[in-house]
Every structure is written in C-alpha cells, then in structure tokens.
Amino acid sequence: MKILVINGPNLNMLGIRQPEIYGSGSYKDLCDTVNKHALSKGVDVEIYQSNFEGEIVEKIQSAYNTADGIIINPAAYTHTSVAILDALLAVKVPAVEVHLSDPERREAFRRINYVKNACIKSVCGKGTDGYKEALDFLTDYIEGKR
Ligand code: CA2
C-alpha cells in the first residue's frame, strides 16, 4: 500500500516559533514520526512538502493511479484553495486532512475550509500524533475495514 503525505506552506519551519500552537518539534521530527509509524505498519509512505500551491496541485495529480491514499495538511491553503480541492476531487484518491492545531478554535478566517470537502476525514488539534491517526484511519479505509 502506498500513501502520499503532503504538507503545505511554512510547515518546513515547524519548531522555530509558536510552539504553544504547533508544538516544539521540528519538521524533521514530524517526518520521523510519520516514517516510523508507517514502517511499523508495513506501509510505504512518501512525504512531500511545498510552499507553492501549483506544486501541491501537481503532486496531488501525480497520485492518480500511483497512490492508494493521500494524507494532506494544506496549511494556509486549507482556507483559500479551490485548486487543491479540485485536484483532490479530480484524482479521486481517498484523502484524510490533518491539522496540528484545531483551526475551528482559532481565528474566524481559519474556520473557512475548502479542502475538507474532498476528504473522508479530518484530524485536528492532535499535533504530530494526528498524522498517525490519519494513517491508521486511511489504511483501515483502504482495506475496507471502515
Ligand atoms: O494546524 C495546522 O496544521 C495548520 O494547517 C497550520 C498552518 C495554518 O495556516 C493552518 O490554519 C493550520 C500554518 C503552518 C505554519 O507553520 C508554522 C511553522 C513555523 C512557525 C510557525 C508556524
């Protein structure tokens, strides 16, 4: 089983500020958490990060016929990007959305969410553990257990 994990803008800067919102771990720590959990489950993961909307759209398109599932934290593009929503709808690969924080409990503009309309589940406010929960849910879903 192949799962593509996509992280959006600024997540590569994790750990340098706002630890009270996003935790104190670095982006490498996040990747290590995901890779370790995937290895323990025998799942093949590719982790991708970009600060550019069009690159994220192209990465989602690359999942068509090549990945079994997508885990995506679109970061700020969550609240603005119809292009990312449309790409997820186009490839029709099951996708789970993850947020380190809970955008619903923050500023009003973070309550606008385009991407969730293309996702089978959203995991919010659980820090990097949210990626593990997303991987568990998605693999069960692909295997027909959910
Ligand atoms: O909670 C999340 O995971 C978010 O997707 C993170 C985005 C934010 O725009 C979303 O509303 C919620 C921001 C990622 C920025 O990451 C930082 C990295 C280093 C220092 C500060 C923030």
Task: Convert the pLDDT of each residue in 5-62 to its tens digit.
Answer: 999 999 999 999 899 999 999 999 999 999 999 999 999 999 999 999 999 999 999 9
In the reported structure, the alpha carbon of residue 22 is separated from the centroid of ligand 1 by a whole-number distance in angstroms of 7
Q: What mean pLDDT is reported for the chain?
A: 97
Separation CA 9–CA 7 (nearest Å): 7
Per annotation, catalytic residue among 22, 77, 114, 131: 22
Q: What is the largest distance, in Å, between two alpha-carbon atoms of the chain?
A: 40
- The confidence band for 145, taking pLDDT boundaries of 50, 70 and 90, is confident
Percent of the chain with pLDDT over 70: 100
Q: Whose CA is nearest to atom 6 of ligand 1?
A: 75
- Known catalytic membership, residue 37: no
Closest atom, ligand 1, to C-alpha of 124: 1
| 124 within 8 A of 99, measured Cβ to Cβ | yes
Q: Is 99 a catalytic residue?
A: yes
Task: Determine the pLDDT at residue 105.
Answer: 97
Residues with CB under 6 A from ligand 1: 10-11, 13-14, 16-18, 22, 73, 75-76, 78, 99-101, 103, 110
pLDDT value at position 97?
98
CA of 11 to the centre of ligand 1 (A): 6
Which tens digit of pLDDT belongs to each residue from 77-112? 999 999 999 999 999 999 999 999 999 999 999 999
- H helix or E strand, kind and range, residue 73: strand 69-73
Instruction: Provide the pLDDT for residue 146.
Output: 77
Rounded distance from Cα 29 to ligand 1 centre (Å) = 15
Distance CA 128, CA 99 (A): 9
Is the pLDDT at 2 greater than 80? The verdict is yes
Full-model pTM: 0.97
Ligand 1 atom closest to 17 (CA):
20
